[in-house]
Amino acid sequence: MACRPVRVGHQVTRILSIQKTANNEAPIPWNESQVEVTRIEDSQNALSLILEKRYDGVYFSGVPDCLVKGLGGSEILDCIPMGVALLDQQNRIIFVNQRLASWFPDQEFVGLNFYEAIGSPSIVGAEPSPLSSAVARCSRCEAEIQIGERYFLMSVTPVIRDGDKVEQLVVSLSDSTETTLKRQKLTALHQAGVALADLRPEEIYEMEVGERIELLKDNIIHYTHDLLDFDVIEIRLVDPKTKLMTPLLSVGINSGVAEQPLYAKAVENGVTGFVAATGKSYLCEDTTNDPIYLDGLMGAKSSLTVPLKHHDEVIGSFNIESPEVGRFTESDLRFVECFAHDIANAINTLNLLNAQRTNTALRSVEAVRGAVALPVDQILNDAVQAIGAYIGHDPAVTARLSAILENARTIKKAIQAVGQEMAIEEEIPECMKPESHPLLYNKRILVIDADKEVRSSAHLLLEKYGCVVETACEGSEAILMVKNSSEANSYDAIIADIRLPDIGGYELLIKLRELVADPPLVLMTGFGYDPGHAIVKAREAGLRANAVLFKPFRLDQLLKICEETVVAFGAEAAK
């Protein structure tokens, strides 16, 4: 038997020599300085040595003189797990061992063409003609062949005499059916996994989030059934905050169990919770004797549960169940883990698409809001001034102006509502979510400042937290806007600079009190600059002690003083 080209009279790397002669000094056909030789006298040890190591050749010093008690050369070839054939220069069979003969019963081999004798196999892979290639290259050649439903690894080693002439070929076949089928199944699963999230641009453009999720679920069911031959499956996703495992997909699972709340915890939440909490797969061979199994399929006797991981983070679990005890094997576990990896990637891809959609929506809303905020405020300012000028002169015009005022405010609310609807909170990464300020949600804030940048910033900063912001450049505009606000649409906070073009902060407080008994006023000043002592006078007139904002201010300071004002005047109004 030879594993590499055997060159009689030339260098050979490793030789197993089986011989027994007087003084162990039989002539040898190689230069011992060029080879590594393992000599044994007892051929009973030959088989174990051949199986343990890969030799370049096995040498017998003679037939039958060298044979000792036990096995001879051909008997050793009959015992090895590979099929072996010796071919002549025309690829005709000279000899086959019993292993090869057993794979093709009732077949006569000697004298037949090798390929014809084994059933005209299909060559799999990049080497189309291993027999010819071994002769042409004078070196060992390997290929994979398929015969019916079986696969074999085929190794062809030329036997070369002096003069580099190939006189014979040694062909060995190893049954690789199980390994090949597993590899093909893994390849098919990976291709299926890639296809799970393989959405064409037109699909992404046309499909809503819910439709994409339904398509993913349909594909998972299809591939799980066709490639894994499993029909009872459940997928749950983990909420990063609460650890609640929400069902994404449930097929064949008892509806009551499918709706049962489970958490990613190692105890008291069944196999699903254990797998999600530990990130370890769990093979349950007999559910009736498993300490942590919870009923899923009515009458389930075995289950297989693996984590859905993305970048080592457990995002959910993939559970399969069967009414048969011991239905799943370690091989099934590897297949399901492979598929689960691609499911997790597909889910992450959808989450990224949804997050991108949400991000685009937020940016679009912010762009629209930023573009129309000050122009709409100008419409409000112009409308209230026109109303003041026309009151008592033309009721019809006043009514039309009031309608313009309300419509402008409706536009602001509509933009706010669209932004909240398009920005799906679950799809915003935790690190990108603004802090929650529920006290400010839907509160109406009036900001009065001659600086356009201050007015724009007020919209940008406060509207992120659900505020409805209106602005004015001067005190007279602000007074008219307060005057033309209905009780239902009154301002929850009024933030004004202490030095407006037409009025000071103290005077503004006095005029607002003519319209509102206790106006929710906050005064702003730059670096504490207050030459007219407006803040001191306003405090003496009843301005709250902490109702002062010093510019430049931080966002948290702005939010805090708005919340305090909303709470203080909300409580006062409740009285």
Which CATH number fits the domain that encloses residue 133?
Answer: 3.30.450.20
pLDDT of residue 572: 58
pLDDT of residue 492: 93
The 10s digit of each residue's pLDDT in 343-383 is 888 888 777 666 656 666 667 767 777 777 788 888 888 88
- Dist CA 180 CA 223 (whole Å): 20
* Whether residues 71 and 122 fall in one domain: no
* Whether residues 95 and 46 fall in one domain: no
Regions of the chain short of the pLDDT cut 50: 1-12, 22-24, 63-71
Nearest to 491 by CA among 479, 501, 482, 499: 482
Q: Name the domain boundary from 318, 335, 355.
A: 355
* Whether residues 240 and 193 fall in one domain: yes
* Whether residues 467 and 501 fall in one domain: yes
pLDDT of residue 22: 45
| Structural domain includes residue 568 | yes
| Structural domain includes residue 464 | yes
3-state secondary structure 333-402: HHHHHHHHHHHHHHHHHHHHHHHHHHHHHHHHHHHHHHHHHHHHHHHHHHHHHHHHHHCCCCHHHHHHHH
Q: Name the domain boundary from 31, 51, 80.
A: 80
| Structural domain includes residue 488 | yes
pLDDT of residue 118: 92
pLDDT of residue 372: 78
| Structural domain includes residue 376 | no
* Whether residues 290 and 318 fall in one domain: yes
For residues 547, 550, 554, 556, the Cα torsion angle rounded to the nearest 10 degrees is: -10
| Structural domain includes residue 389 | no
* Whether residues 225 and 285 fall in one domain: yes
pLDDT of residue 71: 45
Q: How many domains does the chain have?
A: 4
| Structural domain includes residue 12 | yes
pTM for the full model?
Answer: 0.53
pLDDT of residue 493: 94
* Whether residues 284 and 350 fall in one domain: yes
Q: Name the domain boundary from 175, 208, 238.
A: 175
* Whether residues 10 and 97 fall in one domain: no
* Whether residues 86 and 76 fall in one domain: no
| Structural domain includes residue 407 | no
pLDDT of residue 113: 94
Which CATH number fits the domain that encloses residue 266?
Answer: 3.30.450.40
| Structural domain includes residue 21 | yes
* Whether residues 244 and 308 fall in one domain: yes
- Dist CA 222 CA 228 (whole Å): 10
Structural domain of residue 269, as residue ranges? 182-355
pLDDT of residue 4: 43
The 10s digit of each residue's pLDDT in 184-198 is 887 777 777 677 666
* Whether residues 57 and 94 fall in one domain: no
* Whether residues 88 and 53 fall in one domain: no
